[in-house]
Structure formats: structure tokens, C-alpha cells
Amino acid sequence: MRYIRRMRATCLAGAVCAFAWTCCVVPAARADGAGGAVPAGQQATPPKYAIKAGKIVTMKPKPVAGDSRAVEVINHGLILVSGGKIEAIRPTDANVPQGYTVIDASDRWAMPGIVESHTHIGTEGGFNDMVVSLNPELCISDCIDPEDIAVKKAITGGVTTIHTMPGSGTNIAGFTVILKTAGATPEERIVRKLGAMKIANAYNPERDGGDLGRTRMAMSWMVRYMLKQAREYTAAWQAYEQDKNKPKPQLKPELENMRQAFEGKIPTIIHTCEGWGVMQAIRIFGDENKLKIIVTHGEGGGYTIGHEAAKRDNVSLSVGPRLVDHTWGAEYDGKVHGIVAEYCNRGVDEMSINTDSVGWSSFIAPQEELCFQGSMAARLGVDDLTIMKALTINPARALGIDDRVGSLEVGKDADIVIKKGTHLDVTSPVDLVLVNGRIAYQRHGANLVADKSSPTRQKESQS
């Protein structure tokens, strides 16, 4: 079958992209926070920082009596950053060790960087390959553009990790990549080269070219056929790895990436909408193939199936960019329904919010406005804690990267956002952002970083 055996000629494109990666020099903020670029070679060892914060919202679970959902919040705390990681979180009265530059945020909040669960920024050359409906051998990591202005703007909104992906023009679009929004080298930016398997099963991939895939029944058949090949391929390799006396399976490069999903190493993210689409995604990928799935978008009344998602441990939701339903696919009751609120009301806990951004100047939500997406979701009937989780630890957990990002904990990446308020306070701009322990952004006029060469400035910053 041509969808299974076709191989993509990507060698030249991959070589060109690799050359571009090695040639680019990503500007990094100066270690003293004074602005300007420092050559990447001088940033081999991240600086040491001691962040004095008025309030630290760690997003680390800390159940209290009567509230099992509570997270740890530290008033007047100190965060030590070393080697790109969080070294310690202490009370403010702890002494600052020698060799640490002080970041005085004593009148501000420190929070984990925002994790974007569904975006398309940071790529070049297009992200929809429309020749055929099934493209399991494609990887968006082959065309990353670290100089995309949308990525640079994302940092100003507190976004430190992005899950960027192929489009939804085909049923199997390829594989996503998880990136940091800043880094001294390209390798430092990549969190995981194979982020997730990208699927689309509603509207966008319905083809008008007259070939197989114009109808939803044909799309379902094709996807099931491909999943069957990958499932059997994975099982064959697992059997061989357990008993090397068995015949070694034939290598099929077009199924190797899918094997990662069937082995549980990466999730599958599915573009869908309406009740039938959400249920079809859960049924085919979650129930039939036992994959860990992220149902993304989920608008058009998709929340009517929310109770089914809530029953399953291998299903999470990523809502956005649309946050309201009022006619299309929703209950015809003359009301405006907050989509996130409706899923929550049906018991869905594992939920994130996205922008689906395709660029800084696009009509779709700009990446730096993900915090505004969260603010609007809260306005439409969800408590602040739920939305804070949906911007940080929930997407990190859904993507399987919560060992590195999503909360402020010792040993995790030092991705820290500082501002006068929570992520949901859109009236308060982001003042400073650390990514992997380096200052990636500091708002003009904020002046939070003490100048070790100027005792006067350091004294003023601590007052």
C-alpha cells in the first residue's frame, strides 16, 4: 500500500537544516542582566543566581486539609540557581552564598515558566505536507527556525517551553518537537526531538482532491490500518528484544517513529472537535491502541464527551485557541459556554490551554498571549489554580517532561518567570525570565539584577 511503503527523500533537507543549526548563534542575555548579546562560547557554564522573591508559586503539589488540589506557595523565599537547574528553595532569611548574583524580586512573584502544549511557531518552510494523507516518517524537528520572531516574543509573555508541530492538513502529519524558547546552542533548546505523534481527524484533513480520505469513514479506516502496522511492528521488535533467538524483524524506517508512541515513550496529540470527533479520538487511539493521548482543540461541543475523557487515565485535553462555544456543535440553549469550564464540570482534571499560534502576525492567538488565554478561561468560569496548572504542570505532565519543567522544584530546569502578579494577571507585564538558568529576557526599566561591580546599585536593588 503506497501509504505504508512510500519513503520520503529527506536527506538533503536534513543536511541543509543541520548546517543552518550549526551556523546560527543565538543571542543570550548577559549574565549580569545588563542586556546585549554574549557569544555562546562564553556561556558554557550558566551563572549562579539567588532570587529573592516576595512570593514563590512552585506548582508543586502540597495537599492541605480540605483541599487535595493545593500547591506549595512560599512567602518571602529564596531560589538558588546553579548549572541551569534549581539548586535550592529556602526562606528569605537564609544567607546568600558567595558567588551568586542577587535578583531582587522581593516585591514580585516567581513562578515556573509557561509550557505551551500546541503551537506551530519556530519552524520554517511550511508545516503541512499535503501530497498524501499519512506521513509517519516526517519530523518537524528537521525545519526548526530558532530566529523566528514569534519565539522571541513568546519569552516576553513568560513562555519558556513550546510543543511545536506539523499542521492538521493530513491525518498523520508527522512528529512534533519540544523546545525551549531560548538557549545558547540549538542542542540546548531541544527538550525532546520526537515530542509526540501528530494526528488530525476532523475538518482540516478532509481532502477535496478526490483521493482516499475525503470522508470521515475513509480517514478512520486509513488511520486504523496504519496503527495496526505500527502496533504489530512494535510487538515484533519487543518480542525479539526479549528473546534474541527469535527472527529479527525487518527494519521499517517509516514505522520507527510510531514505535516510540506504542512503547509509551511519547504521547499522541490529536486535532479534533465536536462530540463525535473527541469520542473517535478517544476510541481509536486511547481505547483500541492503548496510546497516551492529548485531545487538542476539542471545541464545537466536544465538551459533551468530557465525562468519557475523565474516565480514562491515558487521556488529557488541550483546549484552544477557541475558548467559547455558543452555536456550533454546542447545546442550543442560547448561552455562551466556556469550553474549559465545561470540561472541568464533567470531571476533566488533566487539561492544558493552547494558542495554536502559527506566527507573531497571524490572526490566531500570538504565542506571548497564552497567559491571556488562561485569563479568559478563568473569566469564563474556572478557578485560578486550575488555570495555573493548565499553563504549567499539566501540559508538562501530558507531554512527559514534568521531570524537567512545569514546576519549581530542586533539580528541575531553572525556567522561572518573575512579575508583579500571577500568570493570569494580564495588567502586570513580565519583568524577567530565566530559561535553563540564564536570563533570556528582562523588561526595560525593571533592573532586578544586582550589579556585583556596583555596591550602590546592589544596595538600591535590595531596598
Amino acid 445: pLDDT = 94
Amino acid 91: pLDDT = 86
Q: Is the pTM of this model over 0.85?
A: yes
User: How far is residue 329's CA from residue 351's CA, in Å, rounded to a whole number?
Assistant: 20
Assess if residue 412 is contained within a domain: no
Helix, strand, coil share (%) of the chain residues, nearest 5: 30, 25, 45
Amino acid 460: pLDDT = 35
User: How far is residue 294's CA from residue 7's CA, in Å, rounded to a whole number?
Assistant: 27
Mark whether 102 and 120 lie in a shared domain: no
User: Cβ distance 116 to 159 under 8 Å?
Assistant: yes
- Percent of the chain exceeding pLDDT 90 equals 72
Dihedral of the alpha carbons of 298, 401, 71, 306, in degrees to the nearest 10: 20
Assess if residue 27 is contained within a domain: no
- Overall domain count for the chain: 2
In this prediction, residues 294-318 reach a mean pLDDT of 97
Mean pLDDT of the chain: 87
Amino acid 66: pLDDT = 79
Assess if residue 196 is contained within a domain: yes
User: How far is residue 407's CA from residue 394's CA, in Å, rounded to a whole number?
Assistant: 10
CA nearest to 60, candidates 389, 400, 284: 389
User: Could you tell me the pLDDT band of residue 327, with boundaries at 50, 70 and 90?
Assistant: confident
Task: Write phi, then psi, for 230 (nearest 5 degrees).
Answer: -70, -40
| End position of a domain, from candidates 352, 373, 399 | 399
Mark whether 104 and 157 lie in a shared domain: no
CA 69 to chain CA centroid, Å, is 22
Amino acid 43: pLDDT = 54
Mark whether 185 and 209 lie in a shared domain: yes
Task: Write phi, then psi, for 246 (nearest 5 degrees).
Answer: -75, 155
Mark whether 100 and 231 lie in a shared domain: no
Mark whether 61 and 154 lie in a shared domain: no
Question: Would you tell me how many other CB atoms lie within 10 Å of the CB of residue 242?
Answer: 8
Amino acid 326: pLDDT = 85
User: Could you tell me the pLDDT band of residue 119, with boundaries at 50, 70 and 90?
Assistant: very high
Convert the pLDDT of each residue in 226-244 to its tens digit: 999 999 999 999 999 999 9
What sign for the dihedral angle of Cα 433, 372, 419, 64? negative
User: Cβ distance 425 to 418 under 8 Å?
Assistant: no
User: How far is residue 384's CA from residue 424's CA, in Å, rounded to a whole number?
Assistant: 8
Assess if residue 5 is contained within a domain: no
Is the predicted pLDDT of residue 360 greater than 80, yes or no? no
Assess if residue 24 is contained within a domain: no
Amino acid 186: pLDDT = 74
- According to DSSP, residue 261 is labeled H
Mark whether 101 and 160 lie in a shared domain: no
Is the predicted pLDDT of residue 182 greater than 80, yes or no? yes
Mark whether 376 and 424 lie in a shared domain: no
User: Could you tell me the pLDDT band of residue 406, with boundaries at 50, 70 and 90?
Assistant: very high
Question: Would you tell me how many other CB atoms lie within 10 Å of the CB of residue 91?
Answer: 10
User: How far is residue 67's CA from residue 379's CA, in Å, rounded to a whole number?
Assistant: 22
User: Could you tell me the pLDDT band of residue 458, with boundaries at 50, 70 and 90?
Assistant: very low
- Percent of the chain exceeding pLDDT 70 equals 86
Please calculate the CA angle 94-435-13 and round it to the nearest 5 degrees.
160
| End position of a domain, from candidates 352, 370, 399 | 399
User: Cβ distance 320 to 297 under 8 Å?
Assistant: yes
Is the predicted pLDDT of residue 410 greater than 80, yes or no? yes
> What is the separation, in whole angstroms, between the first and last Cα of the chain?
71
Q: Which CATH number belongs to the domain containing residue 428 in this structure?
A: 2.30.40.10
Mark whether 290 and 361 lie in a shared domain: yes
- Which three-class secondary structure state does DSSP give residue 325? strand
Convert the pLDDT of each residue in 125-170 to its tens digit: 778 888 889 999 999 999 888 889 999 999 999 999 999 999 999 9
Q: Cell 469513514, residue?
A: 217
Assess if residue 168 is contained within a domain: yes
Is the predicted pLDDT of residue 6 greater than 60, yes or no? no
Convert the pLDDT of each residue in 230-289 to its tens digit: 999 999 999 999 999 999 999 999 999 999 999 999 999 999 999 999 999 999 999 999
Mark whether 146 and 288 lie in a shared domain: yes
Is the predicted pLDDT of residue 67 greater than 70, yes or no? yes
Mark whether 235 and 154 lie in a shared domain: yes
Higher pLDDT: 37 or 435? It is 435
Range of the domain at 104: 45-112+417-462
Mark whether 432 and 300 lie in a shared domain: no
Q: Which CATH number belongs to the domain containing residue 245 in this structure?
A: 3.20.20.140
Assess if residue 351 is contained within a domain: yes
Mark whether 354 and 444 lie in a shared domain: no
Assess if residue 347 is contained within a domain: yes
Convert the pLDDT of each residue in 367-384 to its tens digit: 999 999 999 999 999 999
In this prediction, residues 106-124 reach a mean pLDDT of 96
